[in-house]
Structure 1
Amino acid sequence: MISVKNVSIQGLPVLEIFPAEQENQALPTVIFYHGWTSQKESAMVNGYELAKNGFRALLPEADLHGERKPSSSATQENMDFWRVVVHNLQEMESMIDYYQQKGLIDEDRIGVAGLSMGGITTCAALTQFPWIKAAAVLMGSPSPVLFSKWLLQSKWAEGMDVPFDQEAFDEMTAPLKKIALNLQPEKIAERPIYFWHGTNDDLVPYKLTADFYEKVKDEPYAKNLQFQTTKGGIHKVPYTVSVEMASFFEKVL
């Protein structure tokens, strides 16, 4: 039997999903991040599959999303995508600390995963936290600067008539280099990482993930990378991929 409960960690809403009979045991744990303009509940199928494989799955609510959504005077359009990603990173360790203090985490078996913005968060986290033992990136991107440039020419920018200014762009994206996995791929550090991306994704480009994988796949530090694709796949994670993701963690954590 799988149990679900709501937890608040210093104001951070988290859905915790776990095998009911092991609620009070130290379990291997995976933090799973949802996507842009979504909410933690949308990732429950992933948490459920992880719990079926013996994990404690933690599904945090990203800032300005779900329960933390802005008041009616604010809109999703004026949200800062990268600020939300960085906020995810800032809150990650407090989640781990909370469960460590309660003795509910196997500290040698901690993973991070996510879809879309959550996958981007996962790639960024790999540059910051060596305690992450394994990761899964579902239709995310390891290349935040290149992704930002792509966004300006994508469907996200439709209706915007703003000329591209390289100098302004470089200044705006300079802080992202610190969390860019493609610029410091050695930080993979032989950790098992599962990438999945549909080839026809028009919201987070498949090509950036594929190019990254091709660049690093033969490096010693990347020997435990996996890259799975779905030909014709769009910006939606199939259920079979959620199952495969959970199976991946069961094998490597």
Structure 2
Amino acid sequence: MSIIVIEKAMATIPVLELIDDNLATQKLPLVVFYHGWTGCKEKVLTQGYELAKKGFRVVLPDALYHGKRQEGKTEEHQAEFWKIVVQSVKEFPDLIKAYERTIGYTKLGVSGLSMGGITTCALIASYDWIDAGVCLEGSPHPVKFANALLKVIPKANELPKEFVKEQLSSLDKYDLALQSEKINKRPLHFWHGTADEMVPYKLTKEFYDEIKDKPYAANVTFTTTQGAHHKVSYATTIEMADKFETYFK
């Protein structure tokens, strides 16, 4: 097996594509994996590699204001965090159509860590044609999480009220917790560490506990790592890749 990494732009979005060289011309399951806040596509190469080893075509995009799309320091865009997530959701169909027009795919999965996990949940809430997802240390509660973030963002009280309203007003339709029936029996896995200091473990666990016995959540699973902080371990990466292997093979 030889995993190759191709840097390209798909639908004007900078991406890295990982694929087993022997399978490069075949129509395969496609998994899009999103990096976290202040990260970039290169920082999630480990996750991409483990997925590609399973025989998938893997796409690692740069989010708005990150990687090759960076404008100044990413940290300067902290108040636009939700704009970044929403932009990834809005441009997702164009990214997938670009693959449909070229090599195609058999199944479609989404995953990501931290901000990328939040994006994953928002994508599941938005598009019923996604087949499966894995959320790593993200949150299905963007509305609640956004309000919590406003309390800790430096000088948040100095932000124009209209700007804050604009950033938050559109989140309802991307909030999986407000429309969890949209999971619709699709495989969806969550991983979260109990000591996560960035994205609250409690919100994700409460969401899972609320829906786990619902018929539409029959294929939703959750893994807790006691004492784990805001960092995805290699073991968790392996678990994520194994989940998609189960889902798609």
TM range (shorter): over 0.9
2:75 partner letter: Q
Matched, 1:5 2:10: no
1:97-116 aligned within 5 A: 97-106=97-106, 109-116=107-114
CA distance in 1, matches of 2:138, 2:38: 15
1:207 maps to which of 186, 199, 202 = 202
**1:173 CA displacement:** 2.4
TM superposition outliers: structure 1 runs of 4+ over 6 Å:
166-171
1:118, 1:96 → 2: CA distance?
A: 17
1:44-92 Cα deviation digits (max 9, x unpaired): 1110000001111100010110111104xx6522341111111101221
2:189 counterpart SS class: strand
**Unaligned 5+ runs, structure 2:** none
Residue pair 2:29, 2:56 contacting (<8 A) in 1 also: yes
Paired residue secondary structure (1:105): coil
Q: Distance between the aligned counterparts of 1:168 and 1:98, measured in 2?
A: 33
1:245 to 234, 240, 244: 240
**CA–CA separation in structure 2 for the residues paired with 1:130 and 1:2:** 30
Q: The residue matched to 1:90 in structure 2 has which SS?
A: helix
Say yes or no: does 1:151 pair with 2:152: no
| Aligned with 1:225 (options 214, 220, 234) | 220
Residue 126, structure 1, aligned to residue 124, structure 2: yes
Kindly state the Cα deviation for residue 98 of structure 1 after the two structures are TM-superposed.
1.2
> How much has 1:151 moved relative to structure 2?
1.3
Partner in structure 2 of residue 90 of structure 1: 90
CA distance in 2, matches of 1:70, 1:203: 24
State the partner residue of 1:52.
53
Quote the offset at 1:168 in angstroms.
9.5
Percent of residue pairs bearing the same amino acid type: 46
Deviation at 1:127, TM superposition (A): 1.2
Q: Measure the CA separation in 2 of the matches of 1:170 and 1:69.
A: 24
Q: Which moved more, 1:144-153 or 1:24-33?
A: 144-153
Offset of residue 167 of structure 1 = 11
Matched length: 246
Which sits farther off after the overlay, 143-152 or 22-31?
Answer: 143-152
How many angstroms apart in 1 are the aligned matches of 2:219 and 2:96? Answer: 24
Distance, in Å, in 2 between the alignment partners of 1:250 and 1:10 is: 27
**Structure 1, residues 12-62: CA drift from partner, whole Å, max 9, x if none?**
101000111010100101000000111001111110000001111100010
Letter in 2 for 1:126: I
Contact conserved, 2:82 with 2:167, CA < 8 A, in 1?
no
How far off its partner does 1:11 sit?
2.1
Q: Measured at CA, do residues 232 and 26 of structure 1 come closer, stay the same or move farther in structure 2, by a change above 3 Å?
A: same
Aligned AA for 2:55? G
Give TM-score scaled by structure 2 length: 0.93
Rounded to whole Å, the distance in 2 between the matches of 1:135 and 1:161 is 32
RMSD between superposed Cα atoms in Å: 2.1
